[in-house]
Amino acid sequence: MSDKILAVAAGHEITEGELMRLIHNYPPEQQVYLSDPRAKEQVLEQLIAFHLFARMAEEEKIMESEEYLTTLENMRVELASHMAATRTVEGVSVTPEEEKAFYEAHKVQFVKGPQVSARHILVDSEELAGKVAAEIRDGKSFEDAAREYSTCPSKEQGGDLGFFSRGQMVPEFEKAAFDGELRTLIGPVRTQFGYHLIWVDDKKEGSDTPFEKAQSQIHQELLQQKQRAAYDKKVAELTRKYGVEKR
C-alpha cells in the first residue's frame, strides 16, 4: 500500500494507503464508483474533515466529557455482546446430505404449478361486454379495446396481466383462463368485479425445480434455522447460568 502523502490535516499526514483502506470499507458496488479520481477526491475531503474534527474534539476535551464516556461504554458493551452472539453461530454449517434430505422431505415446495399469461377487459355490464366482443371479432385488436373500454388499471398495458398461477385470481376468471384456448376470445365471464373478456397469450405446464437449482435456497434456509437454534440454545444456557428476572 502506498505511503504517498495526499494531504496534511491538523498535523496528521493522510497517505494514499489510509485513503484506500477507507474505500475498501465501502460495499463492493460503491468501490467501483470510488475508483473514479473525482470520487476519490470526495472521499479524501471526508477524511480531511474527519481529522479536523478529531483535533477539535481533543482541544475541547470531548473525550473527557460524561456524554462521551457513557456513549463509549454503551458501544463497548454492544460490540462485545454482538461478538459473543456471532461466536455462538459462526461455527454452524450445513452438509450436502442435510440439503438433499430437506429437498426430499419438502418436494412440494419446489413444484411450480401450471401458469397462464392472459389479457383481460373488465366492464360493468354484460351488454357492454358483448359490444366490445363484437368489435374485437370485427377486427379491433384486444389491446386497443382494453385501452378504450376496460376499467382495470391493466388497460394501460393493453389488459396484460402477465403470468399467474392457480389461486391468484377469482375462481370464475381462473377457470376460464386455464380452460380456455390460446389466442381465442373468451367471455364474457362474470365475477364479483364485473364482466371480463379474456385473451390467453401463453400457457406453461407445471414443473419440478431440480435439486441443483434449489440447493442454494435450501442451504440458506437450513443455515438460518440451525443458527437460530444454536442462538436460542445459548440464550437458554446463559439464562440458567446468569439468571433472568422479568418485572
For 53-93, what is each residue's pLDDT tens digit?
Answer: 999 999 999 999 999 999 999 999 999 999 999 999 999 99
Q: Which amino acid, residue 163?
A: F
Q: CB pairs under 8 A, 24+ apart, for 40-45?
A: 43/19, 44/6, 44/7, 44/14, 44/19
Helix (H, G, I), strand (E, B) or coil at 113: coil
| Cα 42 versus chain centre, distance | 30
Q: pLDDT at residue 2 above 70?
A: no
Domain range summary for the chain, segments of one domain joined by + = 114-205
Number of residues that this document lists for the chain: 247
Burial category of 145 from C-beta neighbours within 10 Å (exposed 0-12, middle 13-18, buried 19 and up): buried
Q: Which CATH class is domain 114-205?
A: alpha beta
Give pLDDT, residue 153: 93
Confidence of residue 27 (pLDDT cuts 50, 70, 90): confident
Report the percentage of the chain scoring pLDDT > 70: 99
Burial category of 198 from C-beta neighbours within 10 Å (exposed 0-12, middle 13-18, buried 19 and up): buried
Burial category of 247 from C-beta neighbours within 10 Å (exposed 0-12, middle 13-18, buried 19 and up): exposed
**In the chain, how many H helices and how many E strands?**
9, 8
Kind and range of the H or E element at 15? Answer: strand 12-15
Confidence of residue 37 (pLDDT cuts 50, 70, 90): confident
In 67-222, at which residue ranges do the beta strands (DSSP E only) sit? 111-112, 115-123, 160-165, 185-191, 194-204, 207-208
Angle separating helix axes 37-59 and 16-23, nearest 10 degrees: 100
Report the percentage of the chain scoring pLDDT > 90: 77
Q: Dump pLDDT digits (tens) for 91-141.
A: 999 999 999 999 999 988 888 889 999 999 999 999 999 999 999 999 999
Give pLDDT, residue 118: 96
